[in-house]
Amino acid sequence: MQAIFILLVFQLAGELSVQLLHLPLSGNIMGMVLLFVFLLIHGRVPESLAFFTSKLLQHLALYFLPVSVGVVTLWPLLKQEGFQIIAVMVISTLIPLVLCAWLLDKMLQRKGW
Amino acid sequence: MDKLMHSPLLWMTLTLVAYQAGFWLHRRLGEPILMPPLLWSLIILITVVVVGKVDYQTYFQANSFIHFLLGTSTVALAVPLYQSLPRMKTAAIPLTITLIVGSLLGAGIALALASMAQLSPSSVLAFATRAVTTPMALGIAEKIHAPLALASAIVIISGLVGAIAAEPLLKFVRNDIAKGFALGLAAHGVGTARALQISPTAGAFAALGMSLNGLLTALWLPSMIRWWLS
């Protein structure tokens, strides 16, 4: 219960600060930043929060489903430009993925990791 | 009956059943790497929505609680982020360099390819936010006037692409930190979910890559687009 309370308070604080200060971020990311700063000041993660978060994040994929089903609304567009869109999507995802993994791996290897 | 057709009870249950069924199918089929559970769940849901002629808004509204948890989970990512802090400090410079490269490449390649493929201007804009996690991408898309539904679909599907390709393409990468960080950078939320399956370390660094990339991209992209369009 304490963990849910903490998360919701920070989610709300993030949303409020974004709306009141007209920040270019989304409220949820701002909430994450605020919670991170809180943890830095607090010096440790409350036990119940650590437990609840690991359970919550285990099912992260589930929370993407409602938005993802939204592709059904894009059918007319996909019929027109679908092939190009998919090609661009695949290439522009894979290049940064492989390049960043390779770059970081090489740099860490140099440090003896 | 009509009331049931609009109720969270029906559509939320359907989402949860599809989510579970995705895992079940994945296991039954011998855990194929190229078809992760999430993809099965999506296929099931889209089939039901299309075949049943369900209005997407009705489905989405009935599932708003599950969607709400996406926001709560984003906030919760601060916890693994904080827990990875000691390791983050020891590799601060390599991580920073990779982050900058990833942020610039993620949006840059997508935009360049989209305009090269001669997509309509609004589709090109929707690609600008490809590399950023959904809630943030929608925030940025609004700022640069890109079509929201397409932007969010591109973000999610490219996340799926990254998550699916992770296993075969990242075989040569030895360090879980590099695997996770790159997954978070290039494939955001879905990539982070995938990285969590690889190891807790990979998951933590994926969350780190995703959130840092989101923050950094939100800072430079909108002004860049304004300059590009002018």
Q: Give the mean pLDDT per block of 10 residues along chain A (113 residues).
A: 93 93 79 93 94 90 85 80 86 92 92 76
Radius of gyration from C-alpha coordinates of chain A: 20
pTM beyond 0.90: no
Q: Which of B200, B188, B116 is nearest to B152 (CA)?
A: B188
The chain A residue lying nearest B223, using CA atoms, is A24
Nearest to A89 among B59, B161, B178 (CB): B161
Q: Would you say B185 and B98 are in contact if contact means Cβ atoms under 8 Å apart?
A: yes
Domain closes at, from B75, B105, B140: B75
Counted domains in chain B: 2
Residues A23 and B202: their CA atoms lie apart, in Å, by 30
DSSP 3-state assignment of B91? coil
Cα dist from B66 to A60, A66, B107, whole Å: 10, 7, 29
Contact B110 A97 (CB under 8 A): no
Portion 175-214 of B in contact with A at CB < 8 A: 175, 177-179, 181-183, 185-187, 189-193, 196, 203, 209, 211, 214
Pick from B126, B119, B120: which is nearest to B149 by CA? B126
Whether the predicted pLDDT of B134 surpasses 70:
no
Q: Is the Cβ of B71 closer than 8 Å to some Cβ of chain A?
A: yes
Same domain, yes or no, for B195 and B139? yes
**Helix and strand element counts for chain A (H, E):** 5, 0
Note whether B71 and B84 are same-domain residues. Answer: no
Same domain flag for B69 and B87? no
* Residues of chain A contacting B71 with CB distance shorter than 8 Å: 11, 27-28, 31
User: What was the pLDDT predicted at B217?
Assistant: 84
d(CA B156, CA A43): 34
Nearest CA to A66 among B137, B36, B45, B190? B45
Chain B residues with CB under 8 Å of A102 CB are 172-173, 178
Query: Are residues B177 and A112 in contact, defined by beta-carbon separation less than 8 angstroms?
Result: no
Same domain, B98 and B204: yes
Statement to judge: residues B57 and B84 lie in one domain: no
Best mutation target among B17, B59, B75 (most A Cβ atoms within 10 Å) is B75
Amino acid letter at B221? L
Domain end among B40, B75, B110? B75
Count of all residues that appear for chain A in the document: 113
Domain that holds residue B34: 2-75
- Whether B177 and B109 map to the same domain: the answer is yes
Which are the contacts of B131, defined by CB distance < 8 A and separation ≥ 6?
A92, A96, B102, B103, B106, B107, B110, B158, B185, B186, B188, B213, B217
Same domain, B104 and B65: no
Residues B215, B114 share a domain: yes
Tell me the pLDDT tens digit for each residue of B150-194. 777 788 788 888 888 888 899 899 899 999 999 999 888 778 888
